[in-house]
């Protein structure tokens, strides 16, 4: 029977095709160690449970942990093990093995940088406005501090979010 079906597929030029199926499923459990989740198919006549891959292979690419109880779209074929194609709820996202520790909250970082920049500008202004009495000259002359030439013209401008953010990665 196998030889006949193979011959028919060769004659009809369908021997290189794959039957891809997609279906909705509910997430029952997640194993971040195995990078899989157990799901129950939604709809249809039966409620099959199966193990689904969270990523193409267990490496350090993009790993999204689905929320238990959320709905995902599972894809599978005759030649490919089931994997998550879409997520309705995500608890965490790990990129490149998590070595970079996470994404910066740009608005919070801009606020902190601007506070620091304002503080430094205020200190520089007070330093430059400060005078002291010199005891080395007759009559007690006042002197202003002298900044090195590279600091006299230094201008600190407040950081803008656009200076820091990568607009290709956003939070919905």
C-alpha–C-alpha distance, residues 93 and 102, integer Å: 9
Say what the pLDDT of residue 149 is: 47
Cβ atoms of 164 and 109 closer than 8 Å: yes
Q: Is residue 91 predicted with pLDDT exceeding 80?
A: yes
Indicate the SS3 state at residue 104: coil
Say what the pLDDT of residue 142 is: 62
Say what the pLDDT of residue 136 is: 61
Stated as kind and residue range, the H or E segment containing 53 is strand 49-53
pLDDT digits (tens, 9 = 90+) for 137-167: 555 566 655 555 445 556 777 888 777 777 6
Q: Is residue 35 predicted with pLDDT exceeding 60?
A: yes
**H helix and E strand count, the chain:** 4, 9
Percent of the chain with pLDDT over 70: 76
Enumerate domains of the chain plus CATH numbers.
2-97 (2.40.50), 106-164 (no CATH)
């Amino acid at each position: 029977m196998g030889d006949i079906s193979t011959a028919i597929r060769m004659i009809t030029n369908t021997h290189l095709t794959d039957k891809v199926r997609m279906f909705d499923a509910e997430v029952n459990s997640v194993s971040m160690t195995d990078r899989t989740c157990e799901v129950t198919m939604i709809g249809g006549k039966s409620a099959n449970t199966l193990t689904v891959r969270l990523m193409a292979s267990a490496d350090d690419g993009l790993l999204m942990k689905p929320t238990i109880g959320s709905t995902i779209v599972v894809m599978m074929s005759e030649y490919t093990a089931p994997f998550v194609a879409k997520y309705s709820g995500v608890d965490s996202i790990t990129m490149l093995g998590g070595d970079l520790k996470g994404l910066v909250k740009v608005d919070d970082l801009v606020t902190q940088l601007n506070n620091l920049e304002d503080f430094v500008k205020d200190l520089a202004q007070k330093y430059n406005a400060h005078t002291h009495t010199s005891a080395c000259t007759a009559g007690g002359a006042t002197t202003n501090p002298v900044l090195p030439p590279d600091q006299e013209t230094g201008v600190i401008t407040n950081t803008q979010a656009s200076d820091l953010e990568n607009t290709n990665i956003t939070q919905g």
